[in-house]
A and B are shown apart, each in its own frame.
Chain A
Amino acid sequence: MSKLPNFHSLACPAPLPPGERVLLGHGSGGRLTAQLIQQLFLPAFANDILCALEDQATLDLHHLGVAGRAGAEPRLAFTTDSFVVRPLFFPGGDIGRLAVHGTVNDLAVGGATPLFLSAAFILEEGLPLADLRRIVASMREACADAGVQLVTGDTKVVDRGKCDGAFITTSGIGVVPPGRNLALHNVRPGDCILVSGTIGDHGIAIMSQREGLEFETALQSDTAPLHDLSHTMLESCPSIRWMRDPTRGGLSGTLNELAAAAHAGVVIDEAAIPIRPEVQAACEMLGLDPLYVANEGKLVAVAPTEASEQLLDVMRRHPLGRNAARIGEVRGDHPGLVVIRSAFGGERIAPLLTGEQLPRIC
């Protein structure tokens, strides 16, 4: 006899059908974001590269008129991102550091060596220059750490109240070595899914500063550049199928993207997901699911299952992969769905949230 259904969601409840205004949920990395991309941006800019929906666009150099056989040349990776984090300065980092790391990571998970960044600033009238100096200094340091150069930029100022202090939009260019081709369509049933470390650190660190929810914790954002980790992983295991950094929308957002685009099922062993006790505690307190909380210094990798032990070993030797774990696998059944297996043997679905995950009391 059918019992209570098999689901898990903290989005309580569902919103009204699309209205006339942008909602916060359009930026959450969940279903509303996906709808906006599918229904507004893709049709407008339709091209094969954009429609692959990877974190970076990998471009054959012959597109630029560079001679040589397509496939044997290194390719250009190109990405863009924007940063609107509040507060501007948070435990473990600031918007500038985040902007550099985030852009570098979008390139790194495509197997690219990041080289050049651009940064466009939209500043709010009244932002203290001392704050801007801090942000810029932070970006300089982050660029040096990542071995990238910030080579072009722009600045605009808007009236007081029209933006939250500062917004930063970046783009990044990197080089993908010949023969390397990470893509969602590489993923096969039976592949293993690895994560490079503990989840939810960034989102909870930010939330601890959020007005109305403040709590004390030693937790810091995990913001970090992942290019060296990804390079090390790919050198040791060229058969890695695909990687992504689970930022907004959290680990579940990334797993759902994987399941949807690869037309595969994903099964995750909940007990295997690394999480700091303080993140767990904060999530319990606020009624949040760590699966949906943002990360800024972690990556998810899909690889052939026979490579998983060696890959984990390599990851754990790296400072940014100490808590790396194998968390699940790709399957042929229930394509498009992410299933979480609890320590009790029960299963539930981790759906794509429609909008923002909100703290709950119920």
Chain B
Amino acid sequence: MCLGIPGRVVDVHREQDILMGKVDFGGVTKSICLECTPQVQPGEYVIVHVGFALQVIDEARAQDVFRFLVQMGETDEFALAEGVSPMSGGAYQNAPDGETPP
């Protein structure tokens, strides 16, 4: 139950007292409900599912997997990157420490 796609918020406004926004999905735009992402600003990206924005995309974290691939390439070691233990939650090196447990 998962078809959520990324889109860019173009504007934010209220319609019938609900927070709504025009979201651009790469050339087509649709009116989307922003009640679950009340802090979102125009220009930010959201994940949209059944006409609702579920989360604002964390643009910094969006690069995590690519940074990880680069590190893998540098060490040429496909096993766990150095300093990463199996118990760490997420274990992206050099990523901003945030919600993932240490």
Contacts and interface: CB of A to CB of B under 8 A. Distances in A.
A–B touch (CB < 8 A): the answer is yes
A360 B30 contact: no
Contacts of A284: 5, 25-26
A281 B25 CA distance: 6
Contacts of A280: 26
A360 to B, nearest CB: 7
Interface in A253-295: 276-278, 280-282, 284-285, 287
Contacts of B28: 208, 215-217, 219, 278, 281-282, 285
Contacts of B2: 362
Interface residues of B, number: 15
A361 interface: yes
B3 A278 contact: no
Interface in A313-361: 360-361
Interface in B1-44: 1-3, 5, 7, 22, 25-30
A217 B27 contact: yes
A360 B3 contact: yes
Nearest to B49: A361
B70 interface: no
Interface string A210-222: 0000111111000
Nearest to A204: B28
B95 interface: no
Q: Identify which of B27, B28, B30 gathers the most chain A CB atoms within 10 Å of its CB.
A: B28
Interface in A215-260: 215-219
B50 interface: yes
A281 B7 CA distance: 10
A360 B27 CA distance: 20
A279 to B, nearest CB: 9
The secondary structure that dominates the A interface is loop
A217 B30 CA distance: 9
Contact of B1 (A208, A282, A362): A362
B1 to A, nearest CB: 6
Nearest to B29: A216
Contacts of A276: 27
Nearest to B2: A362
Contact of B29 (A215, A277, A362): A215
Interface string B42-56: 000000111000000
A180 B28 CA distance: 43
A280 B48 CA distance: 16
Nearest to A217: B28
Contacts of B1: 361-362
Nearest to B48: A285
B3 A361 contact: yes
A361 B5 CA distance: 11
Given A281-B25, A285-B25, A215 B3 contact: no
Interface string A3-17: 000000000000000
Contacts of B48: 285
Contact of A215 (B5, B30, B49, B50): B30
Contacts of B26: 277-278, 280-281, 284
Contacts of A281: 25-28
B3 A277 contact: no
B49 A217 contact: no
A285 B5 contact: yes
Contacts of B22: 216
17 contacts: A208-B28, A215-B28, A215-B29, A216-B28, A219-B28, A277-B26, A278-B26, A278-B28, A280-B26, A284-B26, A285-B5, A285-B25, A285-B28, A285-B30, A285-B48, A361-B1, A361-B3
User: Which 6 A-B residue pairs are closest in the complex by CB-CB distance?
Assistant: A278-B27, A281-B26, A215-B30, A217-B28, A281-B25, A216-B29
